[in-house]
Amino acid sequence: MPTTGQKKITTKRRPRTLTAAKGGAEPSLRQLGRVTETPLSPEAAVLETVPNPQPGVLYLARFTAPEFTSLCPVTGQPDFAHLVIDYAPAKKIIESKSLKLFLTSFRNHGAFHEDCTIRIARRIIAAAKPGWLRIAGYWYPRGGIPIDVFYQTGEPPKGLWIPDTGVAAYRGRG
């Protein structure tokens, strides 16, 4: 508040535009920081990437989705899985909101466990072109049989620390 003899100065400030350098979203990102509807299908989902902030450094990034759901392609009943996605980024990293939306798009998608798991891996590979990727799909029992699906792009890079997925094999009630 101005005191006696002081004049209040008002200025119009332009809205601050956040750029990647200022901690904002990449200009090419269409989902991060915006209200985004769940894609109707995995094909309609957009998996976005950003430049790797640590290019040339060998490291592992992990996404864990313990509540992944899809539909049985025969019965239409829901299937549940705990997914663990490990990858060694190269030039790009996966933007996590777009990954969440992509994974959520499977909720109304009918496919077998093997197809869902491998399809997710292939989309990440196509989008980010990682140096290495592994996905573990721990599917809850269907018809009394749990189905676990594992895929990796090849031998992991030498020197890459790869922790255990941390998901125990299904044991039932025993």
Give the integer Cα–Cα distance in Å for 158 and 143.
40
Total domain count for the chain?
1
User: Average pLDDT per run of 10 along the chain, which is 174 residues long?
Assistant: 52 42 54 70 92 96 97 94 98 95 95 97 97 97 90 97 91 68
pLDDT digits (tens, 9 = 90+) for 131-141: 999 999 999 99
Residue 126 lies in a domain: yes
Residue 60 lies in a domain: yes
CATH of the domain at 71: 3.30.1130.10
Residue 78 lies in a domain: yes
pLDDT digits (tens, 9 = 90+) for 3-26: 555 555 444 444 334 344 444 445
Please give the residue range of the domain that contains residue 122. 39-152
Q: What residues are labeled active site?
A: 72, 79
Place of tokens 């090849």: 154
Q: What is the pTM of this model?
A: 0.80
Pairing between β-strand 49-51 and β-strand 92-94 as defined by DSSP bridges: antiparallel
